[in-house]
Structure 1
């Protein structure tokens, strides 16, 4: 599946969450990530994220799609992290 993950984490935990999400997804900008991920890997990511989060103050939002081809992306302004899909 293809997901977009957005988090709102207190500043003192942001660097840990950033490092975690980069292990599973592509960083887009600030607290936004996207990419293909299996259901098992997503559950693993969320389990590890919950260990970092303060559930009373922090949040993660995940948008799911069958695949990237079902999602149209438009960037207005400077793209923070241009993904290069060429090998």
Structure 2
């Protein structure tokens, strides 16, 4: 599946959230990551993030696309992230 992850977390937890997400997805721009991920890795990612975030203060949104066949991405301006190596 293809996943787009968007997060808004307290600055105390931003680095931990980003580091965790980059193990599974590509960083696109501030607070946005995307990439192909298996169901098992997606569940593992959610479990790891659940241990980091404060559910009363933070927010993470997952956009799950079963296929990218009908999707397209267009960038305007500078390219901030990309398909660099996942850590």
Deviation at 1:83, TM superposition (A): 2.8
SS of aligned partner of 2:5: strand
Flag as ranges the 4+ runs of structure 1 deviating above 6 A.
Answer: none
Q: Give matches, 1:2-81, under 5 Å.
A: 2-81=2-81
Provide, for residues 24-79 of structure 1, a one-character-per-residue CA deviation record: whole Å limited to 9, x for no partner: 00000111000000111111101110100000010110111123333210111111
SS of aligned partner of 1:12: coil
| TM-score (normalizing by structure 2) | 0.90
**Between Structure 1 and Structure 2, which shows a larger proportion of helix residues?**
1
**Structure 2 residues without counterparts, runs of 5 or longer:** none
CA distance in 2, matches of 1:17, 1:83: 18
**Structure 1 residues without counterparts, runs of 5 or longer:** none
> 8 Å contact 2:2–2:34 — kept in the other structure?
yes
